[in-house]
Amino acid sequence: MERPIGVIDSGVGGLTVAQELMRQLPNEQLIYFGDTLRCPYGSRTKDEIIQFTWEMVHFLFEKNIKMLVIACNTATAYTLKSLQQQLPIPVIGVIKPGARAAIKATKNNVVGVIGTEATVSSKAYETALKQIKPEITVQSLACPLFVPMVEKGILSGEEAERVVKHSLKSLIKDNRMDTLVLGCTHYPLLKETIQSVIGDDLTIISSSDETARETSAILEVHNLLATKPRQNDHIFYTTGELEIFRHIAKVIFNNTPKHIKKVKL
């Protein structure tokens, strides 16, 4: 099935998911949409998050996608069920794959979750974790300064370290967790800084790897896997500044994708 996979995110964070999809599914074409102009979604109202997500979905649906990956934790928390119910194609988010990876990693059943304000207030990770393992303890913390910083391309250095230390102060102070879920796909771009602040003893979980595995499994079940090799024909759409998007894409992929386009919704 040679139709593309659609990937949506509030900005550039979902590129970390796209990277893993490209690694694990080299025969697949991705069409990525990052709504960088209206990012971050984490401080938006529920109605705005739902509206913006559906606008991205409608755009990608015109590209004849065969599956949708919601590479945004906030959008996953508020739209996954309705999208799964209303779209005629398979749809997955990043929360359940991230929760499963955390359950595998934790030894003491105390898991930290950092995410946007909307994701944390939705309790989506806590629900997903406790559905798998009811006895687990979840320590959640909103980090609203992370996404705007990443969207500006500030991924390391003194400013990044200062913001991460300030944001994680309360979580570190009451540190019983042995596993930390990066509950926003922007946050893996700060992983090295986060790890240096919280220490090497803590296992950091990104949902990207597990999400790509689940995507592969679902494509196989639905007989939708592509069989022909691809020649880097992935397409990336953004609503924001092209140069910032190109810069961050180059950091993630180690080269700049050929097809990056700016669009309006």
How large is the angle between the packed helices 158-173 and 191-198, nearest 10 degrees? Answer: 50
Contacts of 188 (CB under 8 A, 6+ apart): 13, 16, 182, 206, 208
Q: Known catalytic residues? A: 72, 184
Radius of gyration of the chain (CA): 17
Local structure of 5: helix, strand or coil? strand
Nearest-angstrom CA–CA distance, 248 and 12:
7
E strands, the chain, are 5-9, 30-34, 67-70, 91-92, 110-115, 137-142, 179-183, 203-205, 235-238, 259-262
Contact indicator for 71, 5 with CB cutoff of 8 Å = no
Q: Which two tokens stand for residue 209?
A: 């790897």
Nearest-angstrom CA–CA distance, 59 and 106:
39
Q: Is 185 annotated for ligand binding?
A: yes
Q: Is 200 annotated for ligand binding?
A: no
Q: Is 73 annotated for ligand binding?
A: yes
Q: Is 41 annotated for ligand binding?
A: yes
E strands, 35-189, are 67-70, 91-92, 110-115, 137-142, 179-183
Q: Which residues pair with 138 in a beta bridge?
A: 111
Q: Is 74 annotated for ligand binding?
A: yes
Among residues 94, 78, 79, the alpha carbon closest in space to that of 207 is found at 94
Among residues 147, 150, 114, 120, the alpha carbon closest in space to that of 41 is found at 147
Q: Is 186 annotated for ligand binding?
A: yes
Binding-site annotation, residues? 9-10, 41-42, 73-74, 185-186
Q: Summarize the annotated binding site for substrate as residue ranges.
A: 9-10, 41-42, 73-74, 185-186
